[in-house]
Structure 1
Amino acid sequence: MSELEREVSAPGDGLDRLRIVATPFVPEVRLYLAEDAIVWWARMEAASGHALPAPYWASVWAGGQALARHLLDHPELVAGRRVLDLASGSGLVAIAAALAGASRVVANDIDPYAVAAVTLNARVNRVTVTATGEDLLDSDADDVDLLVAGDVFYDEELAERMLPFLRRAAARGSNVLVGDPGRGHLPRNRLDLVASYQVPTTEPAVDTPVRRVEVLRPR
């Protein structure tokens, strides 16, 4: 049993616990999410005695919600295809791809807790998703028909590595889709708009109830 499995099976509730909830904009998918990710993070760091990566997987982000909604509403993009969900976090987009009929879904995230969360969340939704923890951004996306990435342009260093990877995948024949709510490092002039959604805000420290989120593809 993984550390995260022990965590979700432990008795108790409160702001520092994880619970299964329906995703607001994608109610077809249920996820283990933190009531308050910051409080949960503080408790886990105190228990472990060392710093842990920020638990991005314990919240549901606007870019991922829009991308998951897009896949479920357009299953022809997914059905029978091999899908890679990059920086998967909770696994929301990967699970949506599996529900939409993908032949194979791989969810990739470098945070070991996210890899464990994807495994748990896929089980909750009764779909098969392979979770991996390698850093793929210096590689080529081989054997992928559809590459999806939600909310990956929030950090300058990450953005500088992300766009070349996505463009390499597109050049090799993959359909590449990005979900983004207007992050500061989004290379907007290098992406084309596919769709936009008004997504309910569930992220920490965002003071608007709805955000416009775009689904884009590299030029």
Structure 2
Amino acid sequence: MTPRVIADPTAFIRAETRLLAPPLVPEIVLHLAAESLPIWQRTEEELGKIGLPPPFWAFAWAGGQALARHVLDHPGIVRGKRVLDFAAGSGLVGIAACKAGAACVTCADIDPFAHAATALNAAENGVAPLTVVAADVIGTQGGWDVVLAGDIAYERDLATKVFAWLETLQSAGAEVWIGDPGRSYLPRGRLEKVADYAVPVSRELEDAEIKATSVWRPRR
């Protein structure tokens, strides 16, 4: 039997989420899952049949919250610059960059539901210009002045590939900023810590209600 395709990701997101402000970034509202278990179950039942990844876009992860907070509090990082929000998920970090005065922001994620979520969230926050792209941008140059990446060190092979690429981008002149709450595959020896944040999160998703989360940059 052919799997049923969900033709309207936007409708699915509206039905399964609520407009909520991430605790560390109350200036921004996002379409987020009020409870984690129901939407994970729905996506396993509905989206898993057509090979789509879990709904990472439905949560404001600790690394993204810390990075978004850092950008909003230090707008000079992105003001007037071309910015990439890598593995954008909900688009939280990209939206923060827009609010902080970026010249243009590209939100890249391979999940089509993340594209829809980012577009919805950008509209709710009234930010522009923001572009959502589906391409796997790892290994590309892109012409970005700043690359922002939250929560990208949760899987060994992916982290190895991504951090090598980020270091290449920095060597080519881009400024790279990383938000991470202590994921297993963060290459700390190759990074310098810039700031620390205590990020409220759901115990359903993490091992604590407050995650000690840091903003990092690759060592030069």
TM-score, normalised via structure 1 length: 0.91
Unaligned 5+ runs, structure 1: 11-16
- The alpha carbon displacement at 1:41 in A equals 3.3
Aligned twin of 1:217: 217
Task: Please give the alpha-carbon distance, in whole angstroms, between the structure 2 residues aligned to 1:80 and 1:135.
Answer: 25
Contact 1:59/1:203, CA 8 A, preserved across alignment: no
- 1:95 and 2:95 are equivalent in the alignment: yes
Report Cα offsets for 1:50-80 as digits up to 9, x if no partner: 1431111111100000000000000111111
Mapping for residues 175-190 of structure 1, pairs under 5 Å: 175-190=175-190
- The alpha carbon displacement at 1:39 in A equals 1.7
Single out whichever of 119-128 and 195-204 deviates more from structure 2: 195-204
- The alpha carbon displacement at 1:200 in A equals 1.1
Report Cα offsets for 1:173-198 as digits up to 9, x if no partner: 11100000110000000001111111
Count of aligned pairs: 211
Contact 1:193/1:214, CA 8 A, preserved across alignment: yes
Contact 2:32/2:59, CA 8 A, preserved across alignment: yes
Report Cα offsets for 1:110-168 as digits up to 9, x if no partner: 1111111111100010012111111111222x321110000000100110111111001
Give percent identity, aligned residues only: 45
Task: Please give the alpha-carbon distance, in whole angstroms, between the structure 1 residues aligned to 2:48 and 2:159.
Answer: 31
TM-score, normalised via structure 2 length: 0.90
Aligned twin of 1:121: 121
Q: Which amino acid aligns with 2:87?
A: A
Task: Please give the alpha-carbon distance, in whole angstroms, between the structure 1 residues aligned to 2:122 and 2:215.
Answer: 23
Task: Please give the alpha-carbon distance, in whole angstroms, between the structure 2 residues aligned to 1:60 and 1:179.
Answer: 12
Unaligned 5+ runs, structure 2: 1-6
Aligned twin of 2:11: 6
Aligned twin of 1:132: 133
Aligned twin of 1:84: 84
Task: Please give the alpha-carbon distance, in whole angstroms, between the structure 1 residues aligned to 2:117 and 2:212.
Answer: 27
C-alpha distance 43-138 of structure 1, shift in aligned 2 (>3 A): same
Across the aligned residues of Structure 1 and Structure 2, the Cα RMSD in angstroms comes to 1.6
Secondary structure of the equivalent of 1:163? helix
Contact 1:89/1:114, CA 8 A, preserved across alignment: yes
